[in-house]
Amino acid sequence: MFGKSNNAVYTVPLVPDPGSTIMAIVAGTRLGPYAIIAPLGAGGMGEIWRAKDTRLDREVAIKVLPAGFAANDLFRQRFEREAKAISQLNHPNICTLYDVGQVESGDALQVTGLTPSKSQIHYIVMELLEGESLSERLKRGPLPVHEVLRCGREIASALDAAHRRGIIHRDLKPGNIILTKSGAKLLDFGLARTMADSKAPLDGVTGLPTEAEPLTAQGTILGTFQYMSPEQLEGLEADARTDIFAFGAVLYEMATGRRAFQGKSKTSLIAAIVSSQPAPISSVAPMTPPALDHLIRKCLEKDPDDRWQSAHDVSSQLQWISEAGTQAGVATPVTIRRKTRERIAWSFAALLFTLLAAVSWIHFGSRSEEVTPIRSYLHPPEGTKFDFSESSIAGLAVSPDGKKIAFTASDESDHSHVYVRFLDKLEARKLTGTQDANQPFWSPDSRFIAFFANGKLKKVDISGAPPLTLCDAPIGRSGAWNKEGIILFSPSTLEPIHQVRDSGGKSVPVTKLDVSAGETTHRWAHFLPDSKHFLYMAGTHTLGAQSEANAIYAGTLDSIEDRKLILHARSNAVYASSHLIYVRDNNLVAQRFDPDKLETTGDPFTLAEGVSYSLGMFRGTFSASTTGILAYASGVSDEKNQIMWFNRQGKELVNVGEPGRWDYVCLSPDDLRAAVSSFDPNKGASDIWLIDLERNVESKFTFGELDAAYPVWSPDGSKLLYAAYGKDPTGMKSKFSLKPTDGNAQPESIYETKNLAYTDDWSPDGRYVIFSESTAGGEMDLYYIDLEHAEKPVPLLKPDFNYEYGWFSPDGRWVAFTSNEAGSYQLYVMSFPDGKSKWQVSRGGVSGALSWRPGEILFKGSEGKIMSVRVENHGDSIRLSNPEVLFINPRIQDFDLSHDGRRIIATVLPETAKAGSVTLVTNWNK
């Protein structure tokens, strides 16, 4: 549509409406504040010009509606519809709309000396793109497979964003896709309609989109027909699945270099689209993954009900194909070119496992009593790490059939995913749609995995389908799944065990807390062989780790009241091979157990020493199957960290206070005090402390709260706002409390919710508080409260994606926040409170920590990078620099920037902190 390729301007032929007059615009013409520089060609029914925005001193692209078109109500409405459609979309793979306007042609052309007319010039101002159209690129042949998958994901993501806003593109084709260095960009929404409008049918073929290129020698223009769905050609209702058909045709052409449907005439082309199937991709491009061929064929189904039903599904499938490698059917020569470090590690472990098993069988035959345990190490996939810290609640789960192991690992951006390792395969595979997942557990048939993410319990088919949400789980704790389709889990840290069907629905409790005994939590459910009885741990946050309230019980689905004490322990427990396995004093032990009598016999014996154990979470990191497979993590989960001052170059200046389990840190407005949250492992929850930075003295600030965290200073430093978590007779709740910092006054509650919520920031004028809260769909969203008018919370953005970590600018007119709307978590800045202006700031990802001081935003990027963005205020607008790396320190967990911008205070992991390792034991029970 417009842009540059290798610094050369390219154009798309303009196809005017018969009888229209092209506006005589030349260099120097001004359209309002925009000075025309040069033509860039045409797109749809408009002329595209390169122009200069004289207000913001930047180059833009302007689409101008020619005078002949402007006089036609139909074309003028279509032009206005394009502007409205683009204005509703803010996505990194959709061309950004800057402005719309109209001027009298006489005013616009007075610079040129032409005779003014009395008509109006309508125009749209958009970002100027550097790149080439996909149609131009395809003239050089098909794209490599990895580019097809990458560009396909980006285009599908753009379509998904449009469809979520109720907008159907209806003219998707290679000419409307620009390939830039930052990714593919979707353009030209001139035919877009909202889903509410889409029921109005096209007027036969006369309502077809504008065509860009001729197909026949006679010049018949059929370029867009190749991408139209059967229902469009029949004049029927268009919906999101119409775009999916066009997208399939575009993908086919990207992979093969050929159009999916061809014909020598308009009639034969339409007949091909309606009744025939394109040649298999494998017959044209043999190296294409079969899974991609299947995806495209499903996009191109004639009946909309047989296609993928959403662009999100298509994007997820493309992501899975890209990540799954040979398990998605990638052709061997493509796979061979991948990095081999992880494969070598897995291959060695698998080969050793196979050889030892084979030798054992050959040598000992059927004499199973002589089989001995075999130990080997498992390693995380390349570019990831196991993380057994308190915050990540890393997961490890052996499948019931003993053939697979699921685990969570974090990537360079510190976001965790669920991976599945088939023990007879060479690689672990990341499951699509499991970002920020924790605590995976298996279905009894070893086909599905359940996990927690974003306040929801979800399940995913390990074959690659997108996850399904089952129910709410604000702070979920891992569960169990029986063969009758019942899942047990704990929806929060302060709840009894709940049950829910594996098809989803509302969960109901199956145990009851004994409050009189001090119990505050039931968790770590595990089904016994009869699928009716189950093990679980009852624990206390308030009486300490050695309290007798910490115990393992056997419950039953038949009664919420009935239970039997098995033993006293502050640990999860699993039953496998006639033994109960649990953690005692950081050792993994096993003890004989009769699941029918619900009794232990004999003394426990040690299976492994130094097993990763989290006192605060009441759990050890281990899993076992009835087939004799045991997996456990080694290392210490409860290492203390240090609060520390750094200069801007990352040099350590001085320690603050003593080492502890410090988490969130926030500086007072005068930089003389710091408010921090600290995890108490005996209590199993957090408290807030104040640190006098001049005297280096710590003092506890919150008392009586079961769990308190995320402190935020008032603008004058006289009060602290923080989030407190507890429960009432109706269940879990989050509460925002306000408390003076200079006395023992009781906290004042300003907001309560049944959802998980975090306090983020307080506006400089003291009027607004911004916070993050989970939504009904499981995402996080940003809200603000007007303290002056005691109004209900107002959403800052529509909850289409995850939005969190809001932070006000020093003048209170802007808000910085993180969002995953670009596919990964990035930093954004938006005008407050109107939200009229919004920009993506980062490109390489963010991991939460954020601070905005005069002239600068600091945030934590991937791989421990501390990033800086310079900020210039220009009245109603701001100018942001590209992010620059100040320094790299992967041990920094959270930080705040001093108000003079010269120092950084941070919570820092010790240098000895390790991710831990996973040991796999075969025949542990022999």
Q: 821-825: long-range contacts (C-beta < 8 A, 24 or more apart)?
A: 821/90, 821/91, 821/92, 821/161, 822/91, 822/92, 823/92, 823/153, 823/154, 823/157, 824/413, 824/415, 825/413, 825/415
Catalytic residues: 171
Count the neighbouring beta carbons within 10 Å of the beta carbon of residue 167.
25
Alpha helices for 186-265 (secondary structure H): 230-233, 240-256
Q: 780-789: long-range contacts (C-beta < 8 A, 24 or more apart)?
A: 780/454, 780/455, 780/804, 782/806, 782/815, 782/817, 784/832, 784/833, 785/750, 785/751, 787/750
Residue of 5, 92, 58 whose CA lies nearest to 821: 92
CA dist 551 and 535 (Å) reads: 10
At a CB cut-off of 8 Å and minimum separation 6, what does 356 contact? 374, 922
453 close to 372: Cβ distance less than 8 angstroms: no
> 290-299 and 240-256 are packed helices; what angle lies between their axes, rounded to 10 degrees?
140
CA dist 404 and 327 (Å) reads: 14
CA dist 666 and 643 (Å) reads: 11
Q: State whether residue 350 is helix, strand or coil.
A: helix
- Position of tokens 């499903």? 298
CA dist 638 and 916 (Å) reads: 12
In eight-state DSSP terms, residue 493 is T
CA dist 158 and 171 (Å) reads: 14
DSSP 227-239: G--HHHHTT----
> 311-324 and 145-164 are packed helices; what angle lies between their axes, rounded to 10 degrees?
150
Beta strand segments in 403-550, E? 404-410, 416-422, 428-430, 438-442, 448-453, 456-461, 468-472, 477-481, 486-490, 498-501, 508-509, 521-527, 533-539
Number of residues that make up the chain: 926
SS (H, E, C) 330-347: CCHHHHHCCCCHHHHHHH
CA dist 198 and 193 (Å) reads: 6
Residue of 654, 679, 651, 653 whose CA lies nearest to 664: 679
Task: Using the CB atoms, write b or e for 709-731: b if 16+ within 10 Å.
Answer: bbbbbbeebebbbbbbbbeeeee
> 290-299 and 311-324 are packed helices; what angle lies between their axes, rounded to 10 degrees?
170
CA 744 to mean position of chain CA atoms: 41
Q: State whether residue 204 is helix, strand or coil.
A: helix
Structure tokens at 515: 């409050």
For residue 267, which phi and psi values (nearest 5 degrees)?
Answer: -65, -45
For residue 630, which phi and psi values (nearest 5 degrees)?
Answer: -130, 135
Residue of 265, 93, 119, 247 whose CA lies nearest to 174: 247
DSSP 305-323: GGS-S-HHHHHHHHHHHHH
Helix, strand, coil percentages for the chain (3-state, nearest 5): 20, 40, 45
CA dist 880 and 87 (Å) reads: 22
659 close to 643: Cβ distance less than 8 angstroms: no
